Amino acid sequence: MNIFIAGGSGAIGRQLVPMLVQAGHRVVAMTRSQEGAVLLDAMGALPVVGNVFDKEGLARMVEQAKPDIVIHQLTAFGAKDADPLAETIRVRTEGTRNLIAAAEKSTASRFITQSISFICTPVKSGLTDESTPLYLDAPLAIQPLAHAVAEMETRTVHCNGLEGIVLRYGWFYGPGTNYDPSDAIPLAIKKGRMPIVGGGDGIYSFVHVHDAAVATMKALTHGEPGIYNIVDDAPAKLSEWLPFVANLLDAPAPAHMDEALAREKLGDMLVYIFNEQSGASNLKAKKALSWAPAPSSWRAGFKSLYASVDAKPAPNK
Ligand SMILES: NC(=O)c1ccc[n+]([C@@H]2O[C@H](COP(=O)([O-])OP(=O)(O)OC[C@H]3O[C@@H](n4cnc5c(N)ncnc54)[C@H](OP(=O)(O)O)[C@@H]3O)[C@@H](O)[C@H]2O)c1
């Protein structure tokens, strides 16, 4: 198939593009930079340089690619010259509008969008599923993200003449993510700067970034238009996974922080993530996309990710 991917140089894109190429697809991949183009070329894609905010230029690029499928893997959490959250919100609203408009005018018949599983209204017990409402009435610090996700998902599912598929990935971990051994989260854990807030009751649904790419491959040909949670089988509270990972990293046991203090020092967004979010069910994706998470649990995934760290001399283990 002919595939146009926006975001092929990002954390998931770097896993997905080689898989697409390996499977024999012709992959046209957009990046904003020459460095990105070199990376995409090395992965076997045909790079095009452009910006999702350039509506006309984008439409020309998508049209020229003659795609069967357009894949939206855009975020801007790695932005260095802009606020990452604000820029990601812009990418998910204005960027999504532009990319869908381009796809609708092109030869494409399917549009696949990256979303997140962890912005649903928290449930009192159990897991969220694809029918759980997004957290639109969240505290003010969280609302703009929830509303941007809602707009992006609604536009995807209702795009004209295209099958719109939304993949709500869980928390990415693995190489090239912020859980990479040399990246921000392990470094914060090693420095004792990632506390258990309140009871640490925020339930994380993780997904290995390679596995998220495998699920995306399935979504090329499987699944009715709609929303799918792409998460592992083992939702876990912060109070469960953080000490486990700290141990793997030979880091100090995580400190505890009172919720009120955390609201003041870390803000409502992090209190939501650390102490309030619900985990997500993957039953729908397993059935409709014929996908099963591997590793099925973050425990095995983190053990393997931090194996080299684990192998260091560790007198306390
Ligand atoms: N579910 C999750 O947990 C989740 C989801 C997303 C990200 N993250 C984390 O966030 C961190 C950063 O993510 P990332 O490495 O994927 O980088 P990123 O900064 O989020 O960028 C992702 C992709 O979007 C593209 N992009 C961004 N703005 C664009 C624009 N205006 N026009 C065209 N393309 C644009 C980038 O292309 P170029 O830079 O090549 O132009 C890149 O390919 C990672 O640690 C990742 O794990 C987590």
Which residue is it, tokens 């993510």? 177
- C-alpha dihedral sign at 6, 81, 274, 175: positive
Determine, yes or no, domain membership for 163.
yes
Q: Quick check: is 135 in a domain?
A: yes
Query: Three-state secondary structure along 206-245?
Result: EEEHHHHHHHHHHHCCCCCCEEEEECCCCCEEHHHHHHHH
**pLDDT > 70: percent of the chain:** 97
Ligand 1 centre from 176 Cα, in Å?
11
Contacts of 261 (CB under 8 A, 6+ apart): none
Q: Which stretches does DSSP call E strand in 139-296?
A: 163-169, 171-173, 196-197, 203-204, 206-208, 226-230, 236-237, 256-257
Per-residue pLDDT for 311 more than 90? no
Residue 316 has pLDDT above 80, yes or no: no
47 closest CA partner among 32, 68, 25: 32
- Say if 313 falls within a structural domain: no
Q: What is the mean pLDDT of residues 37-66?
A: 98
Whether residue 312 is contained in a domain is answered as no
Position 246 in a domain: no
Closest Cα partner for 76 from 61, 95, 50, 59?
95
Q: Is the predicted pLDDT of residue 313 greater than 90, yes or no?
A: no
Determine the residue of 77, 85, 152, 273 to mutate for testing ligand 1's pocket, defined as the one with the most ligand atoms within 8 A of the Cβ atom. Answer: 77
Q: Is residue 27 part of a domain?
A: yes
How many structural domains is the chain composed of?
Answer: 1
> 312 alpha carbon to ligand 1 midpoint, in Å?
31
Q: Closest ligand 1 atom to the C-alpha of 51?
A: 32
Percent of the chain with pLDDT over 90: 97
Give residue 253 CA to ligand 1 midpoint distance, Å: 31
Instruction: Supply the range of the domain harboring residue 100.
Output: 2-172+206-232+280-293
Q: What residues flank ligand 1, with Cβ below 6 Å?
A: 6-11, 13, 30-33, 36, 51-53, 74-79, 91, 116, 169, 171-172, 177-178
Give 308's pLDDT tier (boundaries 50, 70, 90).
confident
Q: Please write the tens of the pLDDT for every residue from 87-119.
A: 999 999 999 999 999 999 999 999 999 999 999
Contact indicator for 104, 160 with CB cutoff of 8 Å: yes
Task: Check pLDDT > 50 for residue 317.
Answer: no
DSSP 74: -
pTM of the model: 0.96
Give just the sign of the alpha carbon dihedral 137, 143, 149, 152.
positive
Examine residue 14 and state whether it is found in any structural domain, yes or no.
yes
- Read off the pLDDT of residues 136-176 as tens digits, 9 standing for 90 and up: 999 999 999 999 999 999 999 999 999 999 999 999 999 99
CATH number of the CATH domain containing 115: 3.40.50.720
Task: Give the distance (Å) from ligand 1 centre to CA of residue 13.
Answer: 9
Residue to mutate, 53, 72, 75, ligand 1, most ligand atoms under 8 Å from C-beta:
75
Residue 285 lies in a domain: yes
DSSP lists the bridge partners of residue 237 as 203
User: Cβ distance 5 to 48 under 8 Å?
Assistant: no
